Amino acid sequence: MVSGLSKAFGPVRAVDDLSFEVEPGVITGFLGPNGSGKTTTLRMLLGLISPDSGSATIGGRGYSARTRPNSDIGAVLDAAGFHPARTGRNHLRVYCTVNGYPPSRADEVLALVGLAESGKRAVRGYSLGMRQRLALATALLGDPAVLVLDEPANGLDPEGIVWMRELLRHLADEGRTVLVSSHVLSEVQQLVDHVVIINRGRLVQQSTLVALAEASSRVAVRTPDVEQLRAALDRAGAHVEQSKPDSLQVTGLTVAEVGHHAFAAGVELHGLAAEHGELERMFFALTADTEQQPETMSGRVR
Ligand SMILES: Nc1ncnc2c1ncn2[C@@H]1O[C@H](COP(=O)(O)OP(=O)(O)OP(=O)(O)O)[C@@H](O)[C@H]1O
Ligand SMILES: [Mg+2]
């Protein structure tokens, strides 16, 4: 849980009065463009840097107030920093020793992340995707209830992303809290249930992915009476754009609602269809580099 969190680096307000909540049992995507403050927020959540104001807590406590933080929270902020000459397995065994886990735990997590074989090789020969897997294995060593991953899909091939999705889904289904950051919505779109979207350190959206998809989908409607339909939809609070002389694109209403308003206004329709696949457009609109959010995006998603 993040509440009123702020952090500035000199003149840069990296995180600016940010508040959001993350629930157990679901995968939450923490999204924002490069430099929007994701890593800075996660670093505060993990007690690596201290906030200027506000708080970032997990289960009501700050990370540094925990006695055994590794068992409560598993985190990957950076899939680098492995000793290049060590094997993946040895890397994990060092962590086991430091944290008091049995050495057999290293092999368990290697199997979990699909590195059972490669674990015997030196890390210097690992691809970026393999490093991501090893980092994830490290985070899972303590069987944590909360998993925090910074850009975990970065460097994974499509197959790796599918694998990651299944693993994270499994972990969330066990009731764990899973928070994954990304600067590309499309990369985690298949992965997350909830989204927290930030821009310039500020919250711009917190909702389920389904709600975001609904809000970003448009309805295409064709009518011989464009003006009258436009007036009716405007009255209903929709955002309406004319795409062709006889067609409108409507944001903020469902297909059924558009049909209903047309019917109520006595407007003849020649076509009515939902347009999907607009999530990425929504993400760009939400994180566009302006102070003002587009009117179609405000107050529509809960
Ligand atoms: N240690 C630091 N010193 C100075 N400025 C910093 C420091 N860490 C982050 N910043 C600045 O804070 C802002 C937010 O950075 P942050 O790394 O949190 O963004 P991000 O959302 O994780 O970006 P990316 O998607 O590129 O990883 C940026 O403007 C960055 O330059
Ligand atoms: Mg980052």
Residue 32 CA, closest ligand 1 atom number: 21
Residues 146, 84, single domain; the answer is: yes
Residues 232, 200, single domain; the answer is: no
Residues 226, 262, single domain; the answer is: yes
What's the rounded mean pLDDT across residues 45-69?
79
Give the pLDDT confidence score for residue 52 in this predicted structure.
96
Asked if pLDDT for residue 183 goes beyond 50, the answer is: yes
Instruction: Report the mean per-residue pLDDT for the chain.
Output: 88
Nearest ligand to the CA of 150 is 2
Contact 224, 290 (CB under 8 A): no
Residues 18, 45, single domain; the answer is: yes
CATH value at residue 250? 3.30.70
Give the pLDDT confidence score for residue 70 in this predicted structure.
60
Residues 256, 191, single domain; the answer is: no
Strand-pairing partners, residue 177, are: 146
Closest CA to ligand 1's atom 2: 9
Residues 11, 127, single domain; the answer is: yes
Contact 74, 176 (CB under 8 A): no
Contact 155, 132 (CB under 8 A): yes
CATH value at residue 197? 3.40.50.300
Q: What is the domain range of residue 99?
A: 2-208
Give the pLDDT confidence score for residue 298 in this predicted structure.
41
Q: Which of 6, 34, 39 to mutate to test the pocket of ligand 1 (most atoms within 8 A of CB)?
A: 39
Residues 42, 186, single domain; the answer is: yes
Residues 126, 23, single domain; the answer is: yes
Q: Is residue 296 part of a domain?
A: no
Percent of the chain with pLDDT over 90: 62
Q: 260 CB contacts (<8 Å, ≥6 apart)? A: none
Q: What SS3 class is residue 204?
A: strand
Q: Is residue 300 part of a domain?
A: no
Nearest ligand to the CA of 33 is 1
Nearest ligand to the CA of 6 is 1
Ligand 2 centroid, distance to 241 Cα (angstroms): 36
Poorest-pLDDT segment among 88-102, 130-144, 173-187, 285-299: 285-299
Ligand 1 centroid, distance to 9 Cα (angstroms): 9
Closest CA to ligand 1's atom 3: 9
Q: Which residues approach ligand 1 with their CB closer than 6 A?
A: 9, 12, 14, 32, 34-40, 183
Residues 88, 198, single domain; the answer is: yes
Q: Is residue 17 part of a domain?
A: yes
Closest CA to ligand 1's atom 7: 9
Q: Is residue 106 part of a domain?
A: yes
Poorest-pLDDT segment among 21-35, 66-80, 147-161, 234-248: 66-80
Examine the fold and report which residue of 164, 186, 208 is the final residue of a domain before the chain moves on.
208
Closest CA to ligand 1's atom 26: 34
Q: Is residue 292 part of a domain?
A: no
Residues 246, 201, single domain; the answer is: no
How many domains would you assign to the chain? 2
Ligand 2 centroid, distance to 38 Cα (angstroms): 5
Residue 49 CA, closest ligand 1 atom number: 1
Residues 33, 173, single domain; the answer is: yes
pTM of structure? 0.81
Asked if pLDDT for residue 122 goes beyond 60, the answer is: yes
Residue 53: both structure tokens together: 């104001």
Ligand 1 centroid, distance to 39 Cα (angstroms): 7
Q: Is residue 282 part of a domain?
A: no
Q: Is residue 27 part of a domain?
A: yes
Closest CA to ligand 1's atom 18: 37
What's the rounded mean pLDDT across residues 61-67?
62
Residue 43 CA, closest ligand 1 atom number: 18
> Exposure pattern of 41-70 as b/e (b: 16+ CB <10 Å)?
bbbbbbbeeebeebebebeeebbeeeeebb
Q: Is residue 261 part of a domain?
A: yes
Give the pLDDT confidence score for residue 68 in this predicted structure.
60
Ligand 2 centroid, distance to 39 Cα (angstroms): 4
Examine the fold and report which residue of 208, 239, 260 is the final residue of a domain before the chain moves on.
208
Higher pLDDT, 269 or 212: 269
Asked if pLDDT for residue 249 goes beyond 90, the answer is: yes
pLDDT tens profile 74-120: 988 876 778 889 999 999 999 999 989 999 999 999 999 999 999 99
Examine the fold and report which residue of 189, 208, 227 is the final residue of a domain before the chain moves on.
208
What's the rounded mean pLDDT across residues 140-155?
90
Give the pLDDT confidence score for residue 71 in this predicted structure.
67
Residues 77, 224, single domain; the answer is: no
What's the rounded mean pLDDT across residues 219-228?
96
